[in-house]
Amino acid sequence: MAALLHYYAHPGQRFSQVNSAMWRAAQTVEAITSVDLYRDYPRHIIDVGHEQRLIADHDAVLLQFPLFWYSSPSLLKEWIDLVFADGFAYGEGGDKLRGKRMMLAVTASASQQAYSPEGYQHYPLRTFLTPFEQTARLSMMRFGAPYVMFEALKAAPGAHAAGFARLLTAIRDDHFDWDRAEQAEILTHDTLPLTEKA
Amino acid sequence: MTTDFLLLAFILLGAGAVAVPIATRLGLGSVLGYLIAGIVISPILAALHVDVVAIQHFAEFGVVMMLFLVGLELQPRTLWEMRGRLLGLGGLQVLGTTAIVTAAAIALGQPWTVALAIGLVLSLSSTAIVLQTLNEKGLMRSDGGQASFSVLLFQDIAVIPMLALIPLLAMPELAQEAASHVADTEEHDAGLSLVAGLPGWQAALVTIAAIASVVAGGIYLTRPVFRYIAMANLRELFVATALLFIVGIALLMSLVGLSPALGTFIAGVVLANSEYRHELESDINPFRGLLLGLFFMTVGAGINFVLLSENPFSIIGMTLGLMVIKATVLMALAWIFRLRGADKWLFSLGLAQAGEFGFVLLSFTVANFVMPEAVADRLSLIVALSMLLTPLLFILFERVILPRFDGKNAREADEIDSKGQIIVAGIGRFGGVVNRMLLAAGYETTVLDYSASQLETLRAFDVRVFYGDATRADLLEAAGIAEARMLVIAIDQREATTELVRHVTSTYPHVYVIARAMDRHHVYELWAAGCRDIIRDTFDSSVRAGRSAYEALGIHPYEAERLARIYVDDDRHLLREMADLYDPEVPTHLNEPYVKRARELSAERMEAMAKGGGAFRDRAHSAWLRPSEQDRAATEERQD
């Protein structure tokens, strides 16, 4: 059993299809910790001590958010800025995250083809996520490939949400193959790297 | 008798009312105005056989009050911080000037005792003229102004040992000469003494006990007494008590043969930290002003023009000589204490006159047989003339010297000004929070409240509060509104708040005003009165309650937060728009543009409600994501 900490950051949940479905699916997974950041900090004032204790008590951190202008919603950035502090995540004595895992679950409105040198987004999706990857690296965390859904405003969310629940369960039960996840470019509901037992 | 008194009062008040505004407008300062008024009315007073000296003795009580007020301004800590300049500059000024003037007087043929008395009398400068002028011209906070204040303060304190020293200089022949015809008056004085006839050590004990009782009374007795009086909530009663307090101290000091000014000065310092400080200051200040004005008028009226016309050259020569000596000593001190540029000149020229304490000391020297009356009369004339010349020196400084230094002074003064204080009016639940927040962030505040019981409670929790009604202009003045940076008005009375805003924004436009409004219409009133930072006292808590309701209804907390913010924005916008149309002179329902716009807005709102929230909802809905087709369909469904 791995202690999994699931963060959800979405300021406009009223309009969310896929992310809401993912959040609802996550609620069905028992024995993981799920946090709705915008619910806990509607006024953007983050309890840094509480958040750091929470991360310290878990083995893996999964950040779920829609991609806004090639980055996360602003509260999640604020959360990283404050929680991944000197002396906690990096710097002198900053080894509190060593050996833990980080993973992203993002939704993007453009198609996968758009995220390529020929597409109108010009770069592969992973390029835009390098700040998170390097944040994990500097904090001595292992970074798995992101769990992605493209064209999130058009497609039906059912399969992706169900896959998300399977992903969370697998991580919780140590049936998730982190080595393969680190090798992959992106993960989708039908390419989850699960071990035999799952 | 009554007619005589009324006539005299009419003449004195009338002369002041006519002369002072003219003098002030000409930039000569109020003191010179009073002096000139006195000179002008002196023939009338002489014709009416008015005893000017008797009035002057009565008016000298203004000096006693002034020292009380000087003491009130002077917290023991401030006194301690100033000690270097106070003792160095002040001490050397008094010693140096006394020595040179004494030597000059001996050279002019006076016996050494008289010469020393002359030196002491003339070493003092005029606190009233200099402080008044520095304040009027905004030079108080410059380095030169601060140095001047240190010297004046030292002089005010130095008067006390001088009063003790001067009787020792008494000339036996003068005393004997006077003894015969003064005997009966002396009996009157002696009848009211606690120390007469006591052996030296007992007299000393009684004297020390009297001072100790002033200090102890100031520390332990004033608070319960003033609190008891404040409970009655009658302003005149408080004024009467404050006067009683000062008169009582002056009386006690006179009884033990000490200067009443010393007693009230000590009482002032003791009360400098008291919560009743500003109230006392504003209550005593008008009396001090009136009495000092009267005092200056009697000085002017007492100028002996016969004496001046008899030997004009020697008197005027000695006056100028005195001022040159004083200015030279000050210049040397300014050099030693590294005053620079224009400050050096301000300090030297500003303090080059003899002062009002000179008159007090002169009458004291004559009464103690230290100096023949003829000499004292001449000195009085010199003191008065030097005071008359002082405003001219200030004008010289302002017009000729200051421009040469390229306005350097003014800029330095501004920097110091920027750390002005914050006044919080009213320390109930509203003002209390504001005050605690300011203190928590390391700002210093002056808190005013007129509830004596509230005061007592807060003092118990170490909150520094001053007793007094902040809506009174004089109290606000005493609390330092003229130098303040910000005023927070958190009092309960609606009308009084508006009046206070109007007064402060028009009289002290540099003070930032934050006012508490009771409701929407009060906001308009405050806006019209000139306040630009208005806080409705229950609005923010109501919005939070509304937000809690949203959350409890299942709206996501972040959504609830956004809705609340949009509501606040909309409401503020509305308020701002209506505030411009509001006219305090016209009742709202007769104000046509106001009524028209209010109707329009109300109609807009009704229409929006009918469409399910209208603009409010549209703004709330424009979020980070473009709504999908399904979202739009779902929203429309909900609205139908």
pLDDT tens string A76-118: 999 999 999 999 999 999 999 999 999 999 999 899 999 999 9
CB atoms within 10 A of CB A39: 16
User: pLDDT at position B618, please?
Assistant: 60
142-201 in B: which are within 8 Å (CB) of A? none
| Sign (positive or negative) of CA dihedral B173, B175, B179, B180 | positive
Q: Over range B172-193, report the average pLDDT.
A: 53
Distance CA B571, CA B565 (A): 10
Q: Do A17 and B630 touch (CB under 8 A)?
A: yes
**Non-local CB neighbours of B333 within 8 Å, separated by 6+ positions:** B89, B92, B93, B96, B347
- Whether B564 and chain A come into contact, CB under 8 Å, resolves to no
* Token pair of B43 as six digits: 């023939």
Distance CA B315, CA B312 (A): 5
Region class of A87: left (phi > 0), else alpha (psi between -120 and 50), else beta: left
* Token pair of B342 as six digits: 């224009």
Distance CA B127, CA B149 (A): 8
Distance CA B17, CA A72 (A): 74
Q: Over range B213-239, report the average pLDDT.
A: 84
The number of CA neighbours under 13 Å toward the Cβ of A156 is 3
Q: By CA distance, what is B624's nearest residue in A? A: A12
From A39, A68, A154, residue closest to B557, measured CB to CB:
A39
From A43, A73, A153, residue closest to B628, measured CB to CB:
A153
User: Residues of chain A with pLDDT > 90: what percent?
Assistant: 90
Distance CA A193, CA A181 (A): 6
Q: What is the pLDDT of residues B84-126, one digit of tens each?
A: 888 888 999 999 999 999 999 999 888 888 999 999 999 999 8
Distance CA B559, CA B551 (A): 9
User: pLDDT at position A103, please?
Assistant: 97
**CA dihedral of B163, B167, B169, B170, whole degrees rounded to 10:** 150
CB atoms within 10 A of CB B239: 18
Q: Do B556 and A43 touch (CB under 8 A)?
A: no
User: pLDDT at position A33, please?
Assistant: 96
Q: Over range A9-31, report the average pLDDT.
A: 92
A chain contacts of residue B621, beta-carbon cutoff 8 Å: 14
Distance from CA of A46 to the nearest CA of B (A): 13
What's the pTM? 0.63
- Whether B552 and chain A come into contact, CB under 8 Å, resolves to no
- A180 versus B23: the higher-pLDDT residue is A180
> In which band, very low, low, confident or very high, does the pLDDT at B5 lie, cut at 50, 70 and 90?
confident
* Whole-number average pLDDT of chain B: 81
* Whole-number average pLDDT of chain A: 94
- The packing angle between helices B30-47 and B2-25, to 10°, is 150
- Whether B556 and chain A come into contact, CB under 8 Å, resolves to yes
**Non-local CB neighbours of B258 within 8 Å, separated by 6+ positions:** B163, B207, B210, B211
| Residue B208 scores a pLDDT above 70 | yes
> In which band, very low, low, confident or very high, does the pLDDT at B614 lie, cut at 50, 70 and 90?
low
* Helix, coil or strand: residue A92: coil
Q: Do B625 and A153 touch (CB under 8 A)?
A: yes
Q: Return the DSSP state at A71.
A: B
Evaluate whether B118 touches B99 at the Cβ level (below 8 Å): no
User: Residues of chain A with pLDDT > 70: what percent?
Assistant: 99
Smallest Cα–Cα separation from B513: which of B470, B542, B475?
B470
- Whether B627 and chain A come into contact, CB under 8 Å, resolves to yes
User: pLDDT at position B53, please?
Assistant: 75
Token pair 């009996």 is found at B187
Q: Over range A129-140, report the average pLDDT.
A: 97
User: Residues of chain B with pLDDT > 90: what percent?
Assistant: 17
Q: Do A68 and B558 touch (CB under 8 A)?
A: no
Evaluate whether B523 touches B459 at the Cβ level (below 8 Å): no
From A11, A16, A66, residue closest to B558, measured CB to CB:
A11
Q: By CA distance, what is A68's nearest residue in B? A: B624
User: pLDDT at position B130, please?
Assistant: 83
Q: By CA distance, what is B620's nearest residue in A? A: A12
Evaluate whether B352 touches B115 at the Cβ level (below 8 Å): no
Distance CA B271, CA A78 (A): 52
Smallest Cα–Cα separation from B279: which of B496, B60, B447?
B447
| Residue B372 scores a pLDDT above 70 | yes
> In which band, very low, low, confident or very high, does the pLDDT at B179 lie, cut at 50, 70 and 90?
low
> In which band, very low, low, confident or very high, does the pLDDT at B176 lie, cut at 50, 70 and 90?
low
A chain contacts of residue B625, beta-carbon cutoff 8 Å: 12, 15-16, 66, 109, 153
Q: By CA distance, what is A69's nearest residue in B? A: B624
Q: Do B558 and A153 touch (CB under 8 A)?
A: no
- Whether A157 and chain B come into contact, CB under 8 Å, resolves to no
Amino acid letter at B596?
K
Residue B62, φ and ψ in degrees, nearest 5: -60, -35
- Whether A68 and chain B come into contact, CB under 8 Å, resolves to yes
Most trustworthy range by pLDDT among B30-44, B248-262, B316-330, B600-614: B316-330
A chain contacts of residue B550, beta-carbon cutoff 8 Å: none
User: pLDDT at position A43, please?
Assistant: 93
A chain contacts of residue B628, beta-carbon cutoff 8 Å: 15, 17, 153-154
CB atoms within 10 A of CB B303: 19
User: pLDDT at position B449, please?
Assistant: 85
Counting Cβ atoms within 10 Å, is residue B287 exposed (0-12), middle (13-18) or buried (19+)? middle
User: pLDDT at position B337, please?
Assistant: 87
B chain contacts of residue A17, beta-carbon cutoff 8 Å: 628, 630-631
Smallest Cα–Cα separation from A3: which of A29, A40, A36?
A29
Distance CA B92, CA B97 (A): 8
User: pLDDT at position A158, please?
Assistant: 92
Evaluate whether B604 touches B616 at the Cβ level (below 8 Å): no
Q: By CA distance, what is A154's nearest residue in B? A: B628
Smallest Cα–Cα separation from B432: which of B452, B410, B411, B455?
B455
Q: Do B625 and A66 touch (CB under 8 A)?
A: yes
Q: By CA distance, what is B556's nearest residue in A? A: A39
Q: What is the pLDDT of residues B373-413, one digit of tens each?
A: 888 888 888 988 888 788 778 878 888 888 887 554 443 43
Smallest Cα–Cα separation from B427: which of B461, B460, B455, B462?
B455
Q: Do B624 and A153 touch (CB under 8 A)?
A: no
User: pLDDT at position A187, please?
Assistant: 96
Q: Do A153 and B626 touch (CB under 8 A)?
A: yes
Smallest Cα–Cα separation from A175: which of A52, A8, A29?
A29
Q: By CA distance, what is B557's nearest residue in A? A: A39
